């Protein structure tokens, strides 16, 4: 009987630590988002395709810390070579008005064969948010997207840091 009481006492002490450790791990694991979408009309007149230096895309994504829909606008600064400096803004919109805005920058390259027409590889930095992320939510990490040859489809991925720390004021 004493062993049972002692065992239950130890269990009661460990459960809150385990639950707290699970919450901490969820935030420490960071951001892991993958999505698919389609190219949509760009807001920039005269710049409608990645070949012209612009891409706008909308679609859906899943992962952590959010799952929902996304919208993004990217600009490439072509100088006649196969690759160009590129950057843009990605908005991840989750449920209940919770969203994160990421600034992304890196290199986009034309791919000469296969299913991918353009490949972007770079980094992200969380710059703003709404809902529970209105003042909290920071992180940096790796970002990528592929613009596929058929159907103007896009695959995107963001993997890296995320925490609920307060963002510094702008």
Annotated domain spans of the chain: 31-166
- CA gap 108, 111 in Å, rounded: 9
pLDDT bucket at 18, cuts 50 / 70 / 90: very low
| pLDDT in the model for residue 109 | 97
pLDDT tens digits for range 35-88: 999 998 777 777 878 988 999 999 999 999 999 999 999 999 999 889 999 999
Q: Residue 99 carries which DSSP code?
A: E
Whole-model pTM?
Answer: 0.79
- CA gap 62, 44 in Å, rounded: 28
pLDDT tens digits for range 106-143: 999 999 999 999 999 999 999 999 999 988 888 999 99
Inter-residue contact 104 to 87 (CB < 8 Å): yes
- CA gap 166, 155 in Å, rounded: 30
CATH fold for the domain made of 31-166: Porin (2.40.160)
Question: Residues for the chain: how many in total?
Answer: 170
């Amino acid at each position: 009987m004493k062993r049972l009481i002692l065992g239950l006492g130890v269990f009661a002490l460990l459960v809150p630590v385990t639950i707290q450790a699970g919450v901490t791990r969820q935030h420490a694991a960071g951001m892991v988002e993958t999505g698919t979408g389609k190219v949509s009309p760009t807001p920039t007149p005269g710049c409608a395709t990645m070949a012209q230096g612009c891409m706008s895309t909308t679609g859906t994504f899943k992962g952590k810390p959010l799952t929902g829909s996304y919208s993004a606008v990217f600009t490439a600064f072509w100088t006649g070579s196969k690759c160009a400096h590129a950057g843009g803004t990605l908005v991840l919109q989750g449920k209940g008005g919770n969203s994160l805005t990421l600034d992304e920058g890196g290199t986009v390259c034309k791919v000469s064969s296969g299913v991918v027409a353009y490949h972007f590889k770079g980094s992200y930095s969380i710059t703003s948010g709404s809902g529970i992320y209105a003042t909290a939510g920071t992180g940096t990490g790796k970002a990528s997207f592929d613009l596929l040859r058929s159907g103007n489809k896009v695959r995107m991925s963001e993997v890296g840091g995320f925490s609920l720390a307060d963002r510094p004021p702008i």
